[in-house]
């Protein structure tokens, strides 16, 4: 059952990701991104990462998407229009070349990496909030603090850029 759920939500995530890029209207793209984030949260749950699944829903599918939709509404962005036409031959030949390129790259990467063990759904037990908190504030304290300083610098930079000259 877990494998079927994994395949369904992985396919849904890929579909929403492709729809995100193909859409011409920004609100439709934002809704597709919500679909990607929600299906990734389910995939994290299936793999045993309860904390990261909850963070995915709360932070990305919730707060970040509200911010994206707010910015889209603030900018009053309309649907995107095509600036040039591409011939059918180029479109289909390009899609064929893309599939061949991705197949070649995956073949090369799979041959270069060592074979790892199979994934057993639900076998991972380190995804609780306690385990993540311990690792975050012991082993990964310096990268956590550096990231928080970089976010603070980005916020100050955004305020400086958005400030109107008097």
Mean pLDDT value of segment 23-51: 88
Prediction pTM value = 0.64
User: pLDDT digit string (tens) for 7-21?
Assistant: 999 999 999 999 999
Domain ranges of the chain: 1-79
What pLDDT is attached to residue 79? 65
Within 13 Å, how many C-alpha atoms sit on residue 88's CB side? 0
pLDDT at 113 over 90: no
pLDDT at 36 over 90: yes
Q: Rounded to whole angstroms, how far apart are CA atoms 165 and 20?
A: 36
Instruction: Determine the CATH number of domain 1-79.
Output: 1.20.120.1200
């Amino acid at each position: 059952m877990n494998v079927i759920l994994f395949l369904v939500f992985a396919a849904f995530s890929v579909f929403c990701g492709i729809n995100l890029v193909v859409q011409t209207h920004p609100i439709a793209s934002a809704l597709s991104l919500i679909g990607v984030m929600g299906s990734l949260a389910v995939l994290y749950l299936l793999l045993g990462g309860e904390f990261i699944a909850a963070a995915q829903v709360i932070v990305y599918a919730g707060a970040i998407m509200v911010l994206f939709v707010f910015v889209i509404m603030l900018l009053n962005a309309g649907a995107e229009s095509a600036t040039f036409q591409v011939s059918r031959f180029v479109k289909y030949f390009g899609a064929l070349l893309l599939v061949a390129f991705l197949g070649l790259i995956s073949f090369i990467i799979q041959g270069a990496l060592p074979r790892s063990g199979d994934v057993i759904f639900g076998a991972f037990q380190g995804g609780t909030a306690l385990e993540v908190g311990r690792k975050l504030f012991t082993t990964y304290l310096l990268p956590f603090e550096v990231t928080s300083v970089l976010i603070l610098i980005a916020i100050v930079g955004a305020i400086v850029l958005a400030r109107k000259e008097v």
